[in-house]
Amino acid sequence: MRVRQGYRLPADREALLHKAIRLEWISLGFVLSIVLVMYLSMGSSQTMKMALLEDLLALVPPVVFLLAMRMRKRPPDEQHPYGYSRAILGIIGIGLGFWWADAAAASIIALDVLKDGSTHVRKAMFQLMDQRPTEIMSNTPLGLETLISRRLMREPDVLDVEARLREEGHLVGGEIFVVFDPQQQQLARRAQELIAVATELDWRLYDLILMPVEKINR
């Protein structure tokens, strides 16, 4: 089975990711130091024990993030020909709080956490179902299909273009349908050239497939 070539982030994005990894290690060390101090000083206090449990739960997000970054380095293989990028998007930060003093405040916070959790779960489910590429925060379309179509329509031997894209973790893949001028005989070569042109439009575009067609039905 043919597997996808490994993907490397652009240098500026890779630098930001390395910075995030360093910050997560710092966060992990900071939380661990708090947990150690809490453990040594809690005695038999039930309140301190609950505070210790809360601090232990705070270890989950940085640990899971660092594990995901380790998994991200795995190259595609026969069992995972498209790589492991979706695993990263499947990892969602977890926040749990224990509030005992004010029941009303606890209810409000619980509703807010529930809303946040449902939003992230919904987003993760759409990503697993090959959702159209959207902004993370606003969920509005990225507009990469239009960007690709406008750029390729500038080619003299291209008569019509339509792109169909999907999110694949932090990458965007998909198909580009192109109606070529009937005089164009080097379709295989031109397809590779146009794929390279389209891929250069955005760092997230990767492993695009271009399909010559006679007509695009809209």
pLDDT of residue 17: 79
pLDDT, tens only, 99-126? 344 444 445 555 655 665 565 555 555 5
Closest CA to 96 of 80, 82, 110, 107: 110
Is pLDDT of 184 > 60? Answer: yes
Q: Which position has the higher pLDDT, 13 or 22?
A: 22
pTM of the model: 0.54
* Ranges 2-11, 109-118, 202-211: which has the least confidence: 109-118
Closest CA to 204 of 19, 72, 69, 8: 8
Percent of the chain at pLDDT exceeding 70 = 70
Closest CA to 176 of 156, 139, 201: 201
Task: Specify the residue for token string 């019509």.
Answer: 160
Q: Which position has the higher pLDDT, 47 or 23?
A: 23
**Alpha-carbon distance 132 to 126, whole Å?**
9
